[in-house]
Amino acid sequence: MRRGAYDYLLKPLGSPEELRLLVRKALTERAQASARSDLPGGPHSPAAPGQTGTPPAAAAVREGNSRSRGIWARAQPPASGRAGRRLEAGETTVSIPGLPEPIIAVSRAMQEVLELVRLVAPTTATVLMTGQSGTGKGVIARAIHGLSPRADRPFIPVSCVAIPENLLESELFGHERGAFTGAVAQRRGRFELADGGTLFLDEVGDMSPALQARLLRVLQERQFERVGGTRTIRVDVRLVAATNRDLEQAVLERGFREDLYYRLKVFPIHLPPLRERREDILPLATTFLARVASRHHREGLRLSRATVQSLLEYAWPGNVRELEHAIERTLIVARGEEIQPENLALGVRSPGAAPTPQPGTMEEIEKAAILRALEETGGNRRLAARRLGMALRTLQYRLKSYGLTNQRPASDP
């Protein structure tokens, strides 16, 4: 990829027509890239004064385009289909069709994320996003779709934890009439609905082993049967998956299929927690404030200096989602034209307190975090595991290894 490759080919290969379409799309995009390179201000023109350097990954792709210009310049665009909006390197506020608000990327950490998005969006490569809950994996998934040639086709999101396990198979693959009790009519699944577009599988690490096997087959063969059906259905779906679990650890503990893990991890993207992208906190806060203030007809509301300081010093364990909810709450309780620190109500930590460093080894830090999560959830191991971003099986393994098995579990909600 770094030397200018357009896409990956996964075995078994699809039909000859799919391969021809992929080659045609590669030729078209390389021709467009070469044409842009010849324009004033293009990537091969002299840099403007003060212009920053090209990110290494982008430079490698441009180098590949430059070497092959004589071939790609003769390519003709396909008769139909449109590419999504193009993401330029260095953009700090990115508006994408389909997203209600722009993506904020002032920080270096988010700039690196957007650079990966810019590279992978035009391809058909499977993407695996990792990161804590609330970091914006769903937003980045929509961005990948909106920047891709599939932008005008369906984007179908599925939460693998929001749908009961016994219904998830039917939700993904559909079912035939009479397939099970209550199946009074045929129903198309999310894979069929996403045909030609993008399917976003959120929390894919929580899939059952049986569903993992079915998903692996779809990724390998691009085909499946509905529940209770015998007719094979072929689909053209770009898959974007996300998880807050450590899938490598889950593979070691036999909680996730190794072959599926590597099928998903064709192009990994890690979303940093908000505390590691503090330059984005204030732009995000003002964006959220403008939106909710407009909704509630309080456009003159602003953040006080003390409130800004509190926002920047808080640890944000709930990440961007917590920030968004905190801003919405402040608008409801704030009086006057300025939001004050006491309006934020940032959990149990003092709003102005930075996260307290914890001395000791990684094992001691992890043990303390587990004990704190169990205390905060009243001993409910399932909720504690979710808060820690790990599988319940992983938490139980950690409790045993740290000699904490005497921690009394609470009943699940």
CB–CB of 107/280 below 8 Å?
yes
Side chain identity at residue 143, one-letter code: A
Residue 74 has what pLDDT? 26
Rg, Å, the chain Cα set: 24
The pLDDT tens digits along the chain (413 residues) read 555 565 656 555 555 555 655 665 565 555 445 434 433 344 444 444 444 444 444 443 333 333 322 222 222 233 334 445 666 666 778 888 778 888 999 999 999 999 999 999 999 999 999 999 999 999 999 999 999 999 999 999 999 988 988 889 999 998 888 888 787 788 898 999 999 999 999 999 999 999 999 999 999 999 988 888 889 999 999 999 999 999 999 999 999 999 999 999 999 999 999 999 999 999 999 999 999 888 888 888 889 999 999 999 999 999 999 999 999 998 888 888 889 988 887 754 433 344 433 334 456 667 777 887 788 778 888 887 777 767 787 788 888 887 887 665 555 44
Going by their DSSP bridges, the two strands 103-104 and 93-94 should be labelled as antiparallel
Residue 8 has what pLDDT? 56
Burial class of residue 304 (count of CB atoms within 10 Å of its CB; 0-12, 13-18, 19+): middle
Residue 372 has what pLDDT? 78
* CATH code of the region 277-343: 1.10.8.60
Beta bridge partners of 159: 202
Architecture of domain 362-401: Orthogonal Bundle (1.10)
In CATH, which superfamily holds the domain spanning 85-272? Answer: P-loop containing nucleotide triphosphate hydrolases (3.40.50.300)
CB–CB of 170/187 below 8 Å?
yes
Residue 389 has what pLDDT? 64
Answer whether 0.95 is exceeded by the pTM: no
Give residue limits of the domains in the chain. 1-44+54-80, 85-272, 277-343, 362-401
The CB-side HSE value for 148 (13 A sphere, CA atoms) comes to 27
